Amino acid sequence: MADLSVDICNIKFKNPIIPASGVFGYGREYEEFYPLSELGGIATKGTTAKKRTGNLSPRIAETTAGMLNSVGLQNPGVDYFIQHELPYLLTKNTVILANIAGSTPEECAEVAEKLDSTDVHMIELNISCPNVKQGGAAFGTSCTMAEQVTSAVRKATAKPLVVKLSPNVTSITEIAKAVEFAGADAVSLINTLLGMRIDIHTKRPVLKNNVGGLSGAGIFPVAVRMVWQTANAVKIPVIGMGGVTSGEDAIELMMAGASAVQVGMAVFTDPYAPVKIIQQMQNFLEENHISSVKEIIGSVQPW
């Protein structure tokens, strides 16, 4: 059988597939379908310093080839996560990426510092969140803010630090280089694209928050483009995501330069999607006589 294992930040993943933050919770429900040990890793639900109840409903809506959401980082807070969820996850024989977020660099650093004393394998910093000190702008849309929040978290933890980038920017490569300079060990992208739909009968947006994050198959070509650009702009590993629904999609993102792949909305339509994608990747490698998935990373040959 072809070798599906990959190495990121000196951590070995048995395969490159990781359910993305926000779609998999803490894995408890999905364990009813298959052992979590079959996954390369799990990116946990976004964790903040204090408990958050999230945004008002409606906060999820289907759209063509995807979904809009404005859940608002509903989570029980970092202390609850460390006491009740992380011990369970650490028994599952897979890599755990603790996704964290905050309204300020200080809050993000506080969460990272608490996780630093745990056995979590990696920290994934979501910089697509509001920065209340900057008039509600997202950390991830400014090189200066992205660098500041990454630097604050870097000082708070010795854990491998993955920074999750927003696609809602003019130049994804400049943001990637800024967080690399600030100490990120890897980057993950893309997060959701900002979108909006309107109910033409009520004349109201379909989401209470008016706008939300667009995910699903429709954003996949944007993800491929941004992963390729980023992989050619930084020296640190790239974890790709955005509209992945098949093993072929995952292979494509890895050819673009991703060292691993996160799977998001696909698990809502098929809870078995991550394990199916793993098998499809295995089949592709064997059919094409490729001994290791590492051989395909960045193998695209542009015209």
Q: What positions carry a catalytic annotation?
A: 129
Q: How many CA atoms lie within 13 A of 3 on its CB side?
A: 10
Structure tokens at 197: 């739909």
> By the 8 A CB rule, do 57 and 301 touch?
no
* Dist. CA 98–CA 258, nearest whole Å: 19
State how far the alpha carbon of 149 is from the alpha carbons of 106, 131, 247, in Å. Answer: 8, 10, 34
State how far the alpha carbon of 56 is from the alpha carbons of 59, 63, 208, 210, 222, in Å. Answer: 7, 19, 6, 11, 29
State how far the alpha carbon of 93 is from the alpha carbons of 35, 54, 181, in Å. Answer: 10, 30, 32
DSSP letter at 47 equals: B
> Looking only at Cα atoms, what is the longest distance across the chain?
56
> By the 8 A CB rule, do 186 and 197 touch?
no
State how far the alpha carbon of 92 is from the alpha carbons of 35, 38, 41, in Å. Answer: 8, 9, 10
Is residue 69 packed enough to be buried (19+ CB in 10 Å), middle (13-18) or exposed (0-12)? buried
H helix or E strand, kind and range, residue 78: helix 78-80
> By the 8 A CB rule, do 146 and 140 touch?
yes
Structure tokens at 41: 């890793």
